[in-house]
Structure formats: C-alpha cells, structure tokens
Chains A and B, each alone.
Chain A
C-alpha cells in the first residue's frame, strides 16, 4: 500500500512504515568525499568508534579537490587514505572520478537499497531505484559504527513526465525545469517519485542527471522505477544482492504533478539560484568567459558524446576557455577510445583529471572577478565556483558545447535540429 520510499524503508525495517514514522534502519552502502571525510573521521573518533561495521560497504572518494592543489589539502587526503587503509574500506583515490559517477558505475548503487552519502547529491542513485540521500559527517560516523541511520519516512510528491523530448533537449532540461517549477524548497523533507514515458525512454545515465538535481528542490530522494534498462545497467556491475521496489497502486501521494515534455526547449538556470530557470530564448547572446563541462550531473560518456557531436569540426571561440572534466577514469578511457578527448583537445578545450574541481570552486578553473561562466553542474550560487564576483549559468552539455564555440549562450538546436 506504500509509495516507493515507504516500501523500500519497510523492506529494511521488516515492518510496514508510513510517511512521518521515525525508524532506525540498516544502510546498504555509505560514501564520503574529501570535503566531508575529515570531519567524519573526527566524529568517528569522538564517538569512540573503533571499527567500521561494514568496511566492504563504505567508500571514501578523493574527488572534490583532486589532485591536491595545496599542502593543507594533501594532508587531509593523507588522513583519508590512512583511515581507509586501517579500516579496510574502499578507497577511490585521485583520478578515479567523481563520487556520484563512481558509485553507480562500480556497482554499489543498486535497486531497492538504502544508501547514505556525506554529499548532498547522493540523491543521484534514485535513478537506480535506490533510496539514497545526503547526510552530514556525524550521521555518517554513526552509520559507520552501527551500520544504521535514523530516518523520518518522507511524504512523496509524484512527478509524471509524458511525451518525447524534442531534438536539442535532454534530461538536464527536464531537471532544470523541475527545479524551476518546484522551486528550491518545494520538496523539502519529501521524496520525489519521478515517472512516465518521458523518463522510461531515457537512458539510465540520462535519468541520473534528474535524480542528481532532486536535492535542488529540497527533496530527500529522487526515486525512479527499476525497469529493464536499470536491471541491465546494474546486472554486470552489482557488488551485492538487490531487488527493485515499486510503489503500490493505492499509495498515498502528497501531490501529483504532470508535465508534457514534447515541447520543452533548452533551459537555463540563471545566477545566483538553481530555481531561477528560464527558456534559453531569454538569455541568448549572453557573453561567456568560460564554459565548464563535467560533474556528477553531466560528466558521463553520453554527455561527452553529445558535446563532441555538437562541436564537430568547430573550434572553441576566441577568448573563451572551455574546461572539460570527464567524470571518471572509465568515462575518460571510453572518451579516449572513441577519439572524443583528442577531438576536444584539438578544438581548444582544457581537459582535466576526473574531479569536482571547478564546480565547487576548489581547483582547475576558478573564474576571475566579473567573469561569466556557463556550466553543466547543478549549482550556480554566488561564490560556488570559488569567486563571489563571477556569475554562473547552468545548462545541458549540448547547450554548453555550442555556446563554447559561439562565445555566448547559444541554442544547440541551430546545429542539432
């Protein structure tokens, strides 16, 4: 009788739960990154933690500030490596990739599972039918020690997307439109269940872009159905057992919102808020100094294929910097194998190690005062990319790529339609 969120939690606590119940619940997988692990270790020690309960189910990822650009960061990274080694847990070191791309790719995000990550974009794994959400370092430490965490079972808003996306529009455009419509706190404390033929026709990778941005509406999780595409995606990779969990027909939703995407054009989030979303027509011609393509939102191989296709034989516009960060080593290798990296470098792009860097303003492309950036990331807050005097717009990889060759925000349908 439950929603997807209620049913996944019910399965884990061995009794039927409903929205607003409070449960202490086993966790299937845990992850923390270099911005949050040092505090996690501190909390772990403060709580008299000795051993991580399930070291095979805990990954430490060095991605936010990697490779280290300064001494203080190097020392924090070292502390993380040592902790991981002592505990026998999983370590993804410099160059292996961005946490939310690695976790699904390496088979740790699985249907019907419960995952917590010390990073807000942990909602990404909802696309694989995982109840996955961000927590802070103390919650993470508590889960490392006990193998459990506590949750208030969320109410659910159902989003039903119908229709076929037109050429030049992508899942990122659905994600941005979702943020604009729900606003930054429209789903606070709540679960999103994201469904419909517009979603099932997307690839699993494309779906992750939408679940990734679920947190930008305040949501706890952005759940999708474990259909055949999801099962096919996880089957060759799964590191533990799984079973997809659906919603029951009688499930109670707080709200059901429907949208037809068949006329949805490219969307842009304008600075300094993710929910400040407009159709691209409103900002066409906006001058750009830098374009950044990558991140846990849009740095997967599919995204890079779109980018290479849009750029074609063109060159990056004079005076504009194009920075591309493939989101994992696997993505980087695939992009090399099909000649994408070579093509991008020849077009004038600066290609970096797989990392979060520019998105969170730590390294590899911090804009200068007064500069304007178009990014495929998920946040555009003032100062997000490391400079409060720079402006950040968000778009799909296709829009970002075409804008990089034009030197200003430009409509990719000019070359894709």
Chain B
C-alpha cells in the first residue's frame, strides 16, 4: 500500500459518530458526497471546506464512539480524508473503516498539532511528522484487517472470494 501525505486536522477525545455525521442526515440520502459537506459540522462548522484531498483527521482516545452508522467512515472518505489517526478507536467504527477501505492508524498523537504535515506508511506502520521531524510508531493492525484493507474493503473481498476467505 502506498504512502499517504497530507496535513493534520486535530480533534480531541471521544469524538462520537453523531459529531462525525449527525443522525438526521442519515435520512436525507445515501449520497456520501452530499453528506460529506456536513462532516463534523456540530463541533467544527465548515470543517469540510478546510480539507484538502489526502489530509488526515488526527484525534485522541476513543475516536468514533457511539452508533454503528457506516455513514461515519464513508463521509470521512468522501470528504477527501486519506486516513484517521488516533490514540485508539471505538470498536464498531474501527471495523467499519476497514470494511469500507478507510485506513485507521493507532498511535500516540500527543505530538501532532493542527496543520502539521504528515507522511504515513501503512505497511511499515509509522507516522512521520514532517513539520516536527519526528517519527511515531503505530500499533500493527491484526492480519485479518490488513487482508481486508489491502483488498480494498470487505465488499471487494467478497467479490474476489465469493465470501469470507480469512482463516
């Protein structure tokens, strides 16, 4: 998998799926490009306009807590964010990211600030903070998740193998 480059957009702990995309928008459409305009709007109005393709969402603990809505990783992806980097993630959100092919990186984000330029190597498992010239080691993904992510998500995995081929 290729290296990812972009700037950091920094958030705090416990960013829940209602903040990522409010429940009311789930019912407006299934067009993620349309919904992406509302990404994080309740906690950071106009966030969508700040994002340049390839940027990262960087957060503290328990990113993505709350509901099972898959719209959450889908709108993040549709907004042009290339990966989410956090100290740790909520379970369903983490799984949904892998399933829809949005990379998630678990590492110590304390030394990443808003606007820092980052380079992420998913294969080698590290985040390089270009602005601060520091390298942060990431927790390795379980092999099952690496396989699904490398194949482009669970839908692609199913299309390729006609079902689960993980064991």
Count of chain A residues with a beta carbon within 8 Å of a chain B beta carbon: 54
Stretch at the interface among B2-10, B59-67, B117-125: B59-67
A299 to B69 Cα, complex, angstroms = 23
B1-41: contact bitstring with A at CB < 8 Å (1 yes, 0 no)?
A: 00000000000001010110011101111100000000000
A388 interface contact, C-beta 8 A: yes
In contact, B62 and A184 (Cβ under 8 angstroms): yes
Size category of the B interface is 35 or more
In contact, B90 and A188 (Cβ under 8 angstroms): yes
Stretch at the interface among B49-57, B126-134, B151-159: B151-159
In contact, A150 and B166 (Cβ under 8 angstroms): yes
Residues of B within 8 A of A (CB): 14, 16, 18-19, 22-24, 26-30, 42-43, 61-62, 65-71, 73-74, 88-92, 95-96, 99-100, 142, 144, 153-155, 158-159, 163-164, 166-167
Give the residue of B90, B159, B164 whose beta carbon is less than 8 angstroms from that of A146.
B164
Tell me how far the C-beta of B22 lies from the nearest C-beta in chain A, rounded to whole angstroms: 5
Pick 24 A–B contacts, CB within 8 A, sort by A. Answer: A22-B144, A23-B167, A35-B69, A36-B69, A36-B70, A39-B70, A65-B27, A70-B27, A72-B27, A76-B27, A118-B68, A136-B100, A138-B154, A139-B154, A141-B155, A145-B158, A185-B90, A188-B91, A218-B65, A218-B90, A361-B24, A362-B24, A362-B27, A379-B18
Q: A36-B68, A42-B30, A136-B95 are in contact. List 19 more A-B contacts (CB 8 A).
A: A23-B167, A24-B164, A36-B26, A39-B70, A43-B70, A46-B155, A47-B155, A64-B23, A73-B27, A137-B70, A139-B154, A145-B163, A148-B164, A185-B61, A188-B62, A188-B89, A188-B91, A362-B27, A383-B19
Tell me how far the C-beta of B52 lies from the nearest C-beta in chain A, rounded to whole angstroms: 26
Tell me how far the C-beta of B14 lies from the nearest C-beta in chain A, rounded to whole angstroms: 5
**A47-B159, A383-B19 given; A39·B71 CB < 8 A:** yes
In contact, A138 and B96 (Cβ under 8 angstroms): yes
In contact, B142 and A136 (Cβ under 8 angstroms): no
A382 to B42 Cα, complex, angstroms = 8
Smallest CB-CB separation from B43: which chain A residue?
A382
A24 to B144 Cα, complex, angstroms = 11
Tell me how far the C-beta of B135 lies from the nearest C-beta in chain A, rounded to whole angstroms: 26
A287 interface contact, C-beta 8 A: no
A119 interface contact, C-beta 8 A: yes
A120 interface contact, C-beta 8 A: yes
Tell me how far the C-beta of A358 lies from the nearest C-beta in chain B, rounded to whole angstroms: 11
CB-CB contacts below 8 Å: A215-256 with B: 218, 220
Chain A residue contacts of B153, Cβ below 8 A: 138
In contact, B42 and A134 (Cβ under 8 angstroms): no
In contact, B155 and A185 (Cβ under 8 angstroms): no
Smallest CB-CB separation from B94: which chain A residue?
A189
A279 interface contact, C-beta 8 A: no
CB-CB contacts below 8 Å: A62-85 with B: 64-65, 70, 72-73, 76
In contact, B166 and A22 (Cβ under 8 angstroms): yes
Give the residue of A22, A47, A120, A379 whose beta carbon is less than 8 angstroms from that of B142.
A22
Shortest Cβ-Cβ A-B pairs, 10 listed: A136-B96, A185-B62, A136-B70, A138-B99, A134-B68, A47-B158, A137-B70, A383-B42, A360-B23, A120-B68
